A and B are shown apart, each in its own frame.
Chain A
Amino acid sequence: MAILSLSGISKNFGAIQALDGVSLELNSGEVLGLMGDNGAGKSTLVKIIAGNFKPTRGTITIDGQEVELHRPVDARNQGVEIVYQDLALCDNLSAAVNVFLGRELTKGVGPFKVMDYAAMNARAGELFRDLRSETRPRDMVRAMSGGQRQAVAIARTRLAQAKILLMDEPTAAISVRQVAEVLNLIRELKRQNLAVILISHRMPDVFAVADRIAVLRRGRKVADRPTASTSPEEITGLITGAIESL
């Protein structure tokens, strides 16, 4: 049974229809590449799954249960984690605090809880090591490279035992070596039976790790095929509209 199932998801922003009746199924241990032109609605779709937007119409089913996600916390509680396209980091906070933002570790009794910086630094350090990233937990994000920032954003998703991981262009700003690390990480997560949605404009990345590729065009899903039975040329045609739909 599918871990995530979207049915008839539409989203309007005032007069703009960002999504129009998108239905999608995703299984555990499956990586779905989500592709489409700028403004096609990819980020909007994953933000709906992450509880940032409420869909105008349509339903979300996670693990066989229809869910209403009012806030990001609701989605997190359902085992959904997301790497945002703009990474959503606070420059003037340390890497570790950014990793834990919104779910800080505290210690103390009753209402007197203080931030447990030592524990957060230690845990963040482990996560960065797992990601093979040279990111120091105590460093301010302000001074970090694009790859280190990306590592911080990805480390965030590893805090809880996620069932569904949404990655909005996780490889946009990083070096070739780091891209390989992120792709390896995705393969590893797949082995751990997570369901992953990978948004990327980089055709080779998607073809390297995705089991299936879905294409959005102007808010509609125009294709959804196993990677093995399609080609970069076909996907490009679908994205641009040269191929109407499949």
Chain B
Amino acid sequence: MNAALDDAIKQETHSLSSWIMSRPAFWVFLAAVIACLVLTALTDTFATPQNLFNVTRNFAFVAIIALGMTVVIISGGIDLSVGSTLCLSAMVLAIVMNAGFGLATGTVAALAASLLVGAINGFLIAYIRIPAFVVTLGMLSLARSIAMVLSNNRMIYQFGPDEKALFWLGGGSTLGIANPVIALVILAIITGLILKWTRWGTWVFAIGSNQHAALLTGIPVRRLKVSVYMFSSLMAGIAGVLEAGWLGGVTTNLGQSMELSVIAATVIGGANLMGGAGTVFGAVIGAALIEVIRNSLTLLGISSFWQGAFVGSFIILAVAFDRLRADPELED
């Protein structure tokens, strides 16, 4: 009787640990933790409050956008326009605040512009059925161009009466934690809850897994897709507002090629580019790992030219790992 119970417990814990180990995000998490421990041992500059503050703040922007990207990738799509959307959002905010309006007005305008970008992306993808890659590649070019036109390609560094509030929002901290990191935590929790506990979240997984089935069972696939791209743009827009506050100025090259870091973070975190799989935790950890790598190269005095090599290897490793685990039957 007791033996049977022991067995059952052993089985239970065994399946729990094997479940954890089967998560791609777990291994990335482990890699990040090991990297942090090694850095703490090798340098006395890593584990300082100031450096940790900087590291967490730096990856918060990428991680916030990666939340949106995770949802898009789970749905079987891709959004290459996030870097440009971030730039457009920051620029709209800067122009509105520069004209004397408050932070709230500026933020609403910036997020509205971002949502519009997402709505256009989603409409073209869902209703006109242009591949997401093509639509968002076009939007990558278009949104940044609009930001240039709106600002006449100037740098804006005066934000009117609410300037201090904006700088605090993006550059300040609360209880010793950078405000963008707090925003990230809140947004990550919300995104995680939405994905797991709402019909919307379930449907996102459903269309990424089998769009045809989703359609047959009566899920409003097209409207759902539009909302998915709007969600992604909204995250990029929020990151844009925060980053404008941190930098204290907005130029039209803000967020350039950021989509690559974001997609890298998402994929390292275990999202499947074929759709149907991905986690919020993975996306955040993926973004953290990239930043830790970047930071460690600086601290260890290794040329920053190596950064791309490390990040690139991690992308390929993460996916290779997942593949080898997922389809052992394909070995020959």
Contacts and interface: CB of A to CB of B under 8 A. Distances in A.
A102 B219 contact: yes
Interface in A48-83: 52, 71-73, 76
A93 B197 contact: no
Interface residues of A, number: 24
B276 interface: yes
Interface of B is mostly: helix
Interface string B198-230: 110010011011101110111100000000000
A90 B206 contact: yes
Interface residues of B, number: 19
Interface in A168-225: none
A234 interface: no
Contacts, number: 63
Given A104-B199, A104-B202, A114-B197, A90 B214 contact: yes
Contacts of B218: 71-73, 76, 102-103
Contact of B213 (A101, A106, A113, A115): A101
A84 B216 contact: yes
A96 to B, nearest CB: 11
Contacts of A89: 210, 213
Contact of B206 (A101, A106, A115, A156): A101
B277 interface: yes
Contact of A115 (B198, B212, B217): B198
Contact of B276 (A52, A91, A104): A91
B210 A90 contact: yes
A52, A103, A114: residue with the most chain B Cβ atoms closer than 10 Å: A114
A123 to B, nearest CB: 16
Nearest to B213: A88
A97 interface: yes
Contacts of B197: 114-115
B198 A91 contact: no
B209 to A, nearest CB: 4
Interface of B: 196-199, 202, 205-206, 208-210, 212-214, 216-219, 276-277
21 contacts: A52-B216, A84-B213, A86-B212, A87-B213, A88-B216, A90-B206, A90-B213, A91-B276, A93-B202, A93-B209, A101-B213, A101-B217, A101-B219, A102-B219, A113-B198, A113-B199, A114-B198, A115-B197, A115-B198, A115-B202, A156-B217
The 8 closest A-B CB pairs, nearest first, are A88-B213, A102-B217, A72-B218, A90-B209, A114-B197, A102-B218, A88-B216, A92-B276
